[in-house]
Structure 1
Amino acid sequence: MTVRLSLYQKAEQELYKLDRSVKAKFYDFSHRFRENPHSNGLQLKALKGDSQIFSARIDDSYRALLTRTGTDETGDESWLVIAVRHRRDVYEQLSVAINRVSGEIEFVDLSVVGEGALRRAGIQLIPAEPDATTTAETEDAPTSGPDAQPDAEPAAPASPLLAGHSRQLLRELGVAEPLIDLALTLTDTADLDRLVAGAPLLSQDVLYGLAAGMSPDEVRAEITAAVASTDQIDLGDFGAALARTAVTTIDDALQKVLEDGDFQAWKVFLHPTQARLVDRDYNGPARVSGGPGTGKTIVALHRIHHLVRQLKPGRDKPILLTTFTKNLTADLRARLTDLIGDPDLLARVEIAHIDELAYKVVSENALSGSVKRRVDDRTALTELRTVLAEVGQQGSWETEFLIEEWEQVILGQAVGTRTAYFQTRRAGRGRPLTRPERAAVWKILDQFTARLDKKDIETWGQAAERAARYEMERAGRIQSRQAYKDQVGGRDLIHRDAEASMSDLKHRYKHIVVDEAQDLRAAHWKMLRAMVAPGDNDMFIAGDTHQRVYDNHVSLGSLGINVRGRSARLSLSYRTTKEILARALTVMSGETYDDLDDGTDTLSGYRSVLHGPVPELRGYATWEEELDGLAATLREWRDGLAHENSAAGDVRGLIAVAVPDRDKVSQVIYHLATKAGLGYAQLTSDGPRGDGEIHVGTMPRFKGLEYQRLVIVGASNKLVPRTDSIDRYRADDPARYRRELRKARSMLFVAATRARDALTITWHGNPSPFLTEPVTKRN
């Protein structure tokens, strides 16, 4: 007999948390079960509470709980492992069934619910296997599910959490049947947290959504509709239900995942409610937005996985994945490699940060030896200050204002002449310019570009504008060729193509996927638009303007990228806990943000389905004391994670420190290395440099990255924001002042929302004005 054995998603998550030795025994159990599930040593037997659930012996202490999902015509059986529990856990209130809405197999465990809630619902739990050992030994053993904690009955508020919602509504929204009556009796959020710990994913999302204030229609549209099955659901057909259920086949690959721990797997986990965005066919560019942790990047990665599987066999790279920064590109490459797995499929995807892509285009099109050396913004500012000194205009214009005018208006809109500049819209620039002022600005910037040309250098913004121009010219030739082909009725173009060197001319990509879209320049978007033919599934764009840390404001529609009717907003966070999210949202209070398309975006309705510890805020008298406090926190976290982590205590990439500026980064690294004895890896434009356990970098470097635990240091007044740099704009250029404040808020917001499990924010002296809540701890 051949037995097919699969692992339920929540069972896989439970296994991550168990000791390494238990995981090894489970893997051995899986081999033995597949050979003969009915062997005496496995002790397979049905539970008393639910005849659909069976218990089988892993070792003296642990049991696998399984359900039979079918037998084929040859007699081969299929089984699903739905949980791995200690033998003295409570099994009486376990049930497995098929969800009437999603059609998936669902496992419900009421043993993790607090005693107060169970008592109100009239439920009493009895251990599955009473033990004959001593009372003291029994008291030391676990008495409920893996995440359960003993609890005292909380004081009940006046009304249930879900007052006003009916049993029928919960049933229609997809809540598992055994949970409905109990959910309606809950009067405490702690009980709700324990209830959903034993609930299927759909039930968890629906109950958290309703408790957070979402209306039934919002829950139906954002949660239930995304996973509702279009099949006719037979509540007794477990074989058909298995095909609709997220499971993992138990094999050697699974053993590696379990041994490596869950953090890497979690970083590419696609929530079922997001699958519709991944698999859908779009008749043009599509955009997904949402706050941190809502899964935008994961959706983008799974979108690539979906698209690459649809390709015809070949060796070209018709799919592009791009983003704004080099270090995020490295992270995306690693995550996509984990997700796709197949090197042949991965080879069909080009992964490049946007400026790298622009450089490639410029290099291909420029004459031999004419590719200029690119310089950063600081070098450009120095060159512009020299020009201002030469023309005697040092006190007349702010160099930062002129650079931004040049990058955002002149380069961003490809303004080529003085006359065109007089007629160009300057939306979002704040300070208005009269015609004489525009003439003066043009003259200065004309001299500035001449100086750069003379030194044979260019900025990244110039390179992006040149790349956009080259690609738009290429797209124009492609369009002209197609128009001629249509005109002559599709007749042979060999001779015309040979004369014009156009025989191999085609768009570079079939599909383009953009992550962290909010930071791209207008020229970047023009280049990308020209790189792919307009049509079905041409562009997929993920971004959140609340996380914009570079001052690039664009309107996609004005750049030929129309996402109207093909935009989705994610509002449920599956990474950031409620506690971390609540702290981060206070940073953003009172600000408004655009939606990349002439509208406004909002974080209203942004909710988390996760709970965790409340972020700690700590103030210190001096920077040196703050660094000592940082070292103590990092040691505690490192030792705790090393004990929890099954991968030989390796905590690299799990803990990070976000710092306001580069000088402070150097000081943090020096303190960790020389005084604290902690290893570090510095986040650079190319990713982490070094193999130390603690990642350290400036706040912008954390864009798109994720860590289990994170400390923000130096969140002090005058550092966040840098008042010495922006206060001069307060009176002379209020719009610029507001933009700088917004950027500083966004950087702090980005850093705070990189943490999954724990966040600590510290400062010395007075705290940042963005930390508006009362201080919780002062050292």
Structure 2
Amino acid sequence: MKFAHWKDLFGSLQDLMQKGGKFGKAAAQVSGILKLAQRKNTVSEVFFGIPTTNHGESRIQHCIKYDLQGACRLITVQHNDVCFLMFAGTHDDCTDWLERNKGIRFHLNTIDGRGVFEATRVSDDVSDASKRLTTIPDFSAGKLWEKLPARYFDKLCVGLSEELVVKLKMLTSIVEDDVLLELAIEADGSGDIDHLYDTFNLLRGGSVQEAKARIDLHNGDVTPLDVIQKDTIDKVSSGDEVVMNDDVDAVLFDHFLKTASFQKWMLYLHPSQREFVKRDFNGPARLTGVSGSGKTSVLIHRAVRLAREFPQERILVLTLNRALAKMIKDLTETSMGDDAPKNLVVQSFWELCQEKLLEFEPENGQIYWDKTIKTNKFAIEEHIDEIWSEYYECKNNNITAKVLEPLHRTLINRNIFPSDYIRQEFDYLRSALGPLERKNYIRLEREGRSVPLEERYRSNVIDGLASWESKMTNVGAIDYLGLATALYKHITKIKPIFRCVLVDEMQDFGCVELKIIRALVATGKNDIFLCGDLAQSVLTKYHKLSESGIDIVGRSHSIRKNYRNSREILAAAFELFIQNKKLFSSASAIEILNPEYANFSSSPPLLLMAEDFTSELSYAIDYLHSLLRDENGASRKFCIAICGYNQREIELIAKNLSLNVLTGDTDVVAGQIFVSDLEQTKGFEFDSMIILNCSNSVIPSPALPVEESYREICKLYVAMTRAKTELIVSYSVNASSFIMEISTKFTQGAWDTYASKAPMPKFVFAKSRFIDDSDKELLNMTAHAILYLPEAVGLTTAAQEKLLQTVTGTTRFQNGRQTEWKTFSFFYDGIRRMPTIRNYNGISEGVWNELQNLFTKLDNSEKSLAATIRNSTLSSPKRPILKLKNNV
């Protein structure tokens, strides 16, 4: 007798274990049965001492139920030398499960050359209501037939009249059983009316995979369990729905029963994933996969396998994101407990660099952090984003960034916001070349960077990067790529201390990091295993494996089946790529895989509008509060991702809301609600995902090159595909053009029909930037300060020059006429009142028009800021919302 598990078994056992007491003992009984089934091969041996129930079961053919402790039941299907363990639970839970799965039948299908068991529900007799399949509508949008691949619908329609086919194409998820029955009866010429009724009933309930299997069963493309030969059964592999008992890791399974539901994915492997856990490679290998395909799960299982295979050597799992590394480490330890291999190391690349730098530079180790170190109780801990702003804008008597002024001003003239673009260029350079190799940047082909930079501007970048690194050293902090650069200086000292290195989210590693990884492991069998999705490339880096000493030729593979997202969510996210293919022409290295959709549906994503960003946030908080009040809310996880803000600003927002923020140190397993930017969400998953500030003025950024906006598509795709069953995209005024191009995939509406405004603490937002000082007056700045504002983007060189000559921060007259002004406001008002001064100062009509437009933009920003200040503090609430601080 072969033993196998139906896909519902693991979850049902975990539910029993979480209840504890007698229910936990029932789950332990089944665990014992599964272990025994790996050593014994008869039903009498495996179920010894466990009685069958007193009553038979007619809802499922060949069903046998067993009595467990605590008045629980174990449901099995036993037929033709196979025993399927289906579900375990209380009497009521088992009754509900049997009703939902009435008519289930197994068959053998051949997938990629392997025989796997699948199942579908089948009506015994559609003319008898008690023997007829029925499902609960999933209320998904669209026509039911469109859920099927065209080849399946064609098979379904063989022998049907054109008139009937037209009627079938009109069916939606709200079709009633009687209507389906009438249409099935019309198909009497096909010789079998049951399969037509069953197929559309299954589609109505969102069970697309079962519907396809029902068509295959009718057409003889799969083999019913009844007629499968024994020698064939012996060769059956685990599949997506049925796992053969021999493929279950007993150690992992024991710990699985005791872990939280968030960690379920750690245990179960689908066949397309299992292949890459067990497979050996004669050198570095790469596994790419669509979002939600379980790449991280593959990586962890493979790492555990290799750690057991090489118990005397160290195996490294490496990821860029510190929070993701922590989660992987926690999940591995929780899932395996004391049985976790002691030679398995899980680190972020940041932690690895710190560790090695302490080895090579013990005297400097304390400075390698992304915040300044507090030297005394009066010292201020500065975030790296604050340090960048101080450096780049030449604040506090810091003038080293002046070397970047020529590049800064030409980028303004090209309609590009220089601060962001130059910081990205620093990252691109450091990810491509080590400190001693930077002269090669002058001739480097900047793949994926659309703004051409001639040699003098590239020299500016090299010099500016050197001054930025010096600034970080002086203040005692470092950014991520600065850390990698510091370690790369010691590349020749790095020894191959690991037997195997497995890298998650490999697309985020640049050449410098990849060369360090290459140095950590000797060349050989299974030395480097890279996992990732090139379509999730969100960082501005130079990524070329061929230049990093990592040769994957002949060892690059992909998996396309998505298991995380509902069909509706993934379809909306993938449509981003379909509608913007042309934007990826400058990023030839990015490969976009066509996904295979998961076998479940949800409501379409929501596209909701509010009057401003503060309102969006207020509504989102109230909406999540309502989900928390749900009785099942305690086990769910939620995320608010915000477009257009940097990491420091996100952290300030989260702090004001008393919410968790996704950073390098976040404990995702322990928390429930998180605030994040778009890219930090990568690697995680949430039951509900809300993306705020997805407005046309924010994304794509109007101050960055259109040709490079593909990265923002990737970021938006990443955030959207974190949602398992619920996705809300929010905007104010006008939605992002990215979203409007795919708006048919959303249900559109206004926030006030879904939530109320939660009270908000007083903090101020302006456009896509955070303003700490609410008294900051944009119009009362000097030219130097104004040229660092987003509003200055687009000014011609002539307008910049004239602004710098006249708005100097001092008042100066020549021959009785004013030539310099303290602030832009004074300058604008003086020229407007006395136009002759304009001519005296050589301000052409074209330049004056530009400066008038600049005044309007700054004035509007100030008014918007003032309105936001007024609206950011709501009236005293009737109840606290998510423990908000500083409610007024």
TM-score under structure 2 normalisation? Answer: 0.62
Residue deviations 1:109-164 (CA, integer Å, cap 9, x gap) = 436xxxxxx87xx574637xxxxxxxxxxxxxxx989x756999x99879987144
Is 1:760 aligned to residue 712 of structure 2?
A: no
Distance 1:703 1:36, change over 3 A: closer
Report the identity percentage. 19
TM superposition shift of 1:364? 1.5
Is 1:86 aligned to residue 95 of structure 2?
A: yes
Gaps of 5+ in 1: 72-77, 112-117, 128-142, 169-179, 209-218, 225-230, 476-505, 644-648, 674-679, 730-735
Name the counterpart of 1:639.
Answer: 629
Whole-Å Cα distance in 2 between the matches of residues 25 and 321 of structure 1? 36
Name the counterpart of 2:836.
Answer: none
Is 1:555 aligned to residue 544 of structure 2?
A: yes
TM superposition shift of 1:612? 1.5
Q: Which of structures 1 and 2 has the bigger CA Rg?
A: 2
Gaps of 5+ in 2: 34-44, 89-93, 159-190, 371-383, 412-417, 753-888
Distance 1:466 1:303, change over 3 A: same
Whole-Å Cα distance in 2 between the matches of residues 421 and 60 of structure 1? 70
Name the counterpart of 2:401.
Answer: 388
TM superposition shift of 1:238? 11
Aligned ranges for residues 189-200 of structure 1 at < 5 Å?
Answer: 191-192=202-203, 194=205, 196=207, 199=210
Name the counterpart of 1:483.
Answer: none
Whichever residue aligns with residue 682 of structure 1, its letter is: V
TM superposition shift of 1:716? 2.6
Distance 1:462 1:16, change over 3 A: closer
TM superposition shift of 1:587? 3.4
Distance 1:238 1:30, change over 3 A: farther
Distance 1:198 1:443, change over 3 A: closer
Name the counterpart of 1:590.
Answer: 580
TM superposition shift of 1:513? 0.8
TM superposition shift of 1:575? 0.5
Whichever residue aligns with residue 89 of structure 1, its letter is: E
Aligned ranges for residues 410-429 of structure 1 at < 5 Å?
Answer: 412-414=432-434, 416=436, 420-429=440-449
Name the counterpart of 1:481.
Answer: none
Is 1:295 aligned to residue 307 of structure 2?
A: no
Name the counterpart of 2:517.
Answer: 528
Question: Is contact 1:699–1:750 with CA below 8 Å preserved after alignment?
Answer: yes
Aligned ranges for residues 14-29 of structure 1 at < 5 Å?
Answer: 24-25=22-23, 27-28=25-26
Name the counterpart of 2:634.
Answer: 650
Name the counterpart of 1:408.
Answer: 428
TM superposition shift of 1:627? 3.6
Whole-Å Cα distance in 1 between the matches of residues 254 and 710 of structure 2? 46
Distance 1:612 1:700, change over 3 A: same
Question: Is contact 1:577–1:612 with CA below 8 Å preserved after alignment?
Answer: yes
TM superposition shift of 1:531? 1.0
Matched residue SS, 2:683: coil
TM superposition shift of 1:352? 1.3
Matched residue SS, 1:43: coil
Name the counterpart of 2:330.
Answer: 334
Distance 1:638 1:395, change over 3 A: same
Is 1:357 aligned to residue 388 of structure 2?
A: no
TM superposition shift of 1:522? 1.9
Aligned partner (choices 655, 670, 695) of residue 674 of structure 2? 695
Whole-Å Cα distance in 2 between the matches of residues 40 and 439 of structure 1? 78
Distance 1:45 1:255, change over 3 A: farther
Question: Is contact 1:387–1:447 with CA below 8 Å preserved after alignment?
Answer: yes
Distance 1:681 1:406, change over 3 A: closer
TM superposition shift of 1:465? 2.5
Name the counterpart of 2:387.
Answer: 379
Aligned ranges for residues 424-463 of structure 1 at < 5 Å?
Answer: 424-446=444-466, 459-463=479-483
Name the counterpart of 1:704.
Answer: 683
Name the counterpart of 1:43.
Answer: 53
TM superposition shift of 1:687? 0.9
Q: CA RMSD in A?
A: 5.0
Question: Is contact 2:641–2:677 with CA below 8 Å preserved after alignment?
Answer: yes
Question: Is contact 2:562–2:595 with CA below 8 Å preserved after alignment?
Answer: no
* Alignment: residue pair count: 655
Question: Is contact 1:592–1:600 with CA below 8 Å preserved after alignment?
Answer: no
Whole-Å Cα distance in 2 between the matches of residues 510 and 520 of structure 1? 20
Residue deviations 1:537-582 (CA, integer Å, cap 9, x gap) = 1111111232222211311112111222211122221101111112
TM superposition shift of 1:529? 0.9
Residue deviations 1:711-750 (CA, integer Å, cap 9, x gap) = 2223233233444xx2xx4xxxxxx4432x2232222221
Whichever residue aligns with residue 300 of structure 2, its letter is: L
Matched residue SS, 2:231: coil
Question: Is contact 1:66–1:81 with CA below 8 Å preserved after alignment?
Answer: yes
Aligned partner (choices 699, 706, 711) of residue 743 of structure 1? 711
Distance 1:232 1:96, change over 3 A: closer
Whole-Å Cα distance in 1 between the matches of residues 621 and 489 of structure 2? 50
Question: Is contact 1:62–1:86 with CA below 8 Å preserved after alignment?
Answer: no
Is 1:715 aligned to residue 734 of structure 2?
A: no
Whole-Å Cα distance in 2 between the matches of residues 382 and 82 of structure 1? 62
Larger CA deviation: 595-604 vs 690-699 = 595-604
Name the counterpart of 1:322.
Answer: 318
Question: Is contact 2:583–2:707 with CA below 8 Å preserved after alignment?
Answer: no
Distance 1:389 1:524, change over 3 A: same
Question: Is contact 2:25–2:69 with CA below 8 Å preserved after alignment?
Answer: no
Whole-Å Cα distance in 2 between the matches of residues 251 and 350 of structure 1? 22
Whole-Å Cα distance in 1 between the matches of residues 403 and 102 of structure 2? 85
Whichever residue aligns with residue 776 of structure 1, its letter is: Q
Whole-Å Cα distance in 2 between the matches of residues 749 and 768 of structure 1? 13
Name the counterpart of 2:660.
Answer: 681
Whichever residue aligns with residue 76 of structure 2, its letter is: L
Whichever residue aligns with residue 707 of structure 2, its letter is: R
Name the counterpart of 1:468.
Answer: 488
Whole-Å Cα distance in 1 between the matches of residues 251 and 595 of structure 2? 42
Distance 1:717 1:350, change over 3 A: same
Is 1:617 aligned to residue 617 of structure 2?
A: no
Matched residue SS, 2:711: helix
Name the counterpart of 1:482.
Answer: none
Whichever residue aligns with residue 303 of structure 1, its letter is: R
Residue deviations 1:416-471 (CA, integer Å, cap 9, x gap) = 36864444443333333334444455455555556666667655324313423423
Distance 1:251 1:126, change over 3 A: farther
Whichever residue aligns with residue 342 of structure 2, its letter is: A
Name the counterpart of 2:373.
Answer: none
Whichever residue aligns with residue 694 of structure 1, its letter is: I
Question: Is contact 1:575–1:610 with CA below 8 Å preserved after alignment?
Answer: no
Distance 1:12 1:193, change over 3 A: farther
Whole-Å Cα distance in 1 between the matches of residues 552 and 76 of structure 2? 46
Matched residue SS, 1:343: helix
Whichever residue aligns with residue 391 of structure 2, its letter is: E
Name the counterpart of 2:806.
Answer: none
Residue deviations 1:41-72 (CA, integer Å, cap 9, x gap) = 7435765687743234569997533245999x
Whole-Å Cα distance in 2 between the matches of residues 423 and 94 of structure 1? 65
Name the counterpart of 1:228.
Answer: none
Question: Is contact 1:657–1:710 with CA below 8 Å preserved after alignment?
Answer: yes
Whole-Å Cα distance in 2 between the matches of residues 193 and 523 of structure 1? 52
Matched residue SS, 1:162: helix
Distance 1:587 1:413, change over 3 A: same
Aligned ranges for residues 572-611 of structure 1 at < 5 Å?
Answer: 572-588=561-577, 589-591=579-581, 599-611=589-601
Whichever residue aligns with residue 86 of structure 2, its letter is: I
Whole-Å Cα distance in 2 between the matches of residues 516 and 281 of structure 1? 21
Distance 1:654 1:110, change over 3 A: farther
Whole-Å Cα distance in 2 between the matches of residues 29 and 469 of structure 1? 55
Matched residue SS, 2:8: helix
Whole-Å Cα distance in 1 between the matches of residues 388 and 654 of structure 2? 29
Residue deviations 1:269-298 (CA, integer Å, cap 9, x gap) = 321222111111111111111221122212
Whole-Å Cα distance in 1 between the matches of residues 100 and 323 of structure 2? 47
Name the counterpart of 1:227.
Answer: none
Name the counterpart of 1:211.
Answer: none
Question: Is contact 1:5–1:30 with CA below 8 Å preserved after alignment?
Answer: no
Name the counterpart of 2:499.
Answer: 510
Whole-Å Cα distance in 2 between the matches of residues 629 and 392 of structure 1? 42
Aligned ranges for residues 129-148 of structure 1 at < 5 Å?
Answer: 148=136
Whichever residue aligns with residue 555 of structure 1, its letter is: K
Name the counterpart of 2:849.
Answer: none
Whichever residue aligns with residue 355 of structure 1, its letter is: W
